[in-house]
């Protein structure tokens, strides 16, 4: 059984279904336990999600989170308070679970996930990828802003393998709350900033082009004369396509070519 963590509100249920559908279709040999941490979803929507997941032969475990837990944390633009729930997931998940893979709802899965899921943590708390093409220029600023002069990168939290066994031993939620309170005005990508600020030396890096392909980069890459990570390469090697940013493939105005992957899995619901 592979454990998957998702944290969404009602607005993100439709893309969540598409993400899960792509996960199930491209991992037909696997059985999944989907853990949903939520505080703003109606009972009838939970029932609908349960029917959807169980109809695919998988399991859904809805877990209600106290909405007051992060009530003072900053939220803005297309970010919601649910993004913080992954930071406290170990408090809500069953003790017997030793690892879980968090996935944002604005992702599609196009290849098997098992290689990443079973990867050795090498003593780290998390495994994640850095979108180097967007963070490289901002690294000095991020180090200064977050007080991490020795950090080697800035990791995206949209795909996050979590070492729950070690997180339970080493993560102090009071330290997280205190950091958020003291740095409210400095948090640009709130939960992501928290993870990179407090755990920069406890994150094992993986290849973003395989495990967290930023759909925005694909549009830029097509302009390069020798673009390695093209569509053919992606179909063979990429596991997760991540539609980062405010423009999403379920919006009518979305123009990105990779939106066709989202539309395909939406059509197959």
Question: Of 163, 85, 94, 160, nearest to 124 (Cα)?
Answer: 163
Q: Which of 251, 254, 253, 250 is nearest to 263 (CA)?
A: 250
CATH, range 2-267: 3.90.550.10
List the domain boundaries for the chain.
Answer: 2-267
Instruction: Answer for the pair 159, 99: CB distance below 8 angstroms, yes or no.
Output: no
Choice among 75-79, 199-203, 253-257 with the minimum mean pLDDT: 75-79
- Sorting pLDDT into bands at 50, 70 and 90, what band is 122? very high
pLDDT class for 21, splitting at 50, 70, 90? very high
pLDDT digits (tens, 9 = 90+) for 183-192: 877 777 768 8
Task: Give 177's pLDDT tier (boundaries 50, 70, 90).
Answer: confident
Alpha helix segments (H runs only) across 107-239: 114-117, 132-135, 139-146, 164-170, 173-182, 190-199, 208-211, 215-221, 231-237
What's residue 105's pLDDT? Answer: 97
143: pLDDT strictly greater than 80? no
Q: Are 131 and 208 in contact (CB under 8 A)?
A: yes
Strand order in the sheet with 2-7: 59-64, 32-38, 2-7, 99-103, 156-163, 126-129, 203-206
> Quick one: tokens of 68?
């007051």
Q: Is the pTM of this model over 0.85?
A: yes
> What was the pLDDT predicted at 32?
98
């Amino acid at each position: 059984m592979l454990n998957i963590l998702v944290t969404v509100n009602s607005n993100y249920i439709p893309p969540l279904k598409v993400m899960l559908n792509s996960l199930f279709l491209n991992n037909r040999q696997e059985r999944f336990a989907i853990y949903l941490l939520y505080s703003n979803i109606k009972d009838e929507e939970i029932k609908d999600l349960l029917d959807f997941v169980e109809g695919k032969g998988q399991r859904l475990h809805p877990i209600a989170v106290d909405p007051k837990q992060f009530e003072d944390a900053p939220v803005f633009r297309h970010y919601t308070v649910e993004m913080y729930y992954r930071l406290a997931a170990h408090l809500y998940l069953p003790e017997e679970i030793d690892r879980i893979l968090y996935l944002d709802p604005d992702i599609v899965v196009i290849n098997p996930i098992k290689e990443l899921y079973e990867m050795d943590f090498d003593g780290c708390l998390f495994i994640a990828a850095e979108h180097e093409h967007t963070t490289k220029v901002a690294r000095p600023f991020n180090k200064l802003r977050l007080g991490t002069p020795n950090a080697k990168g800035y990791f995206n939290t949209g795909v996050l393998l979590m070492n729950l066994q070690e997180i339970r031993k080493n993560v102090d939620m009071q330290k997280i709350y205190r950091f958020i309170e003291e740095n409210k005005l400095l948090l640009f990508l709130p939960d992501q900033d928290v993870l990179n600020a407090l755990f920069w030396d406890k994150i094992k890096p993986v290849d973003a082009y395989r495990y967290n392909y930023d759909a925005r980069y694909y549009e830029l890459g097509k302009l390069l004369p020798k673009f390695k990570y093209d569509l053919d390469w992606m179909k063979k090697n990429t596991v997760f396509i991540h539609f980062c940013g405010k423009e999403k493939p379920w919006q009518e105005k979305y123009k990105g070519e990779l939106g066709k992957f989202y539309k395909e899995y939406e059509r197959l619901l």
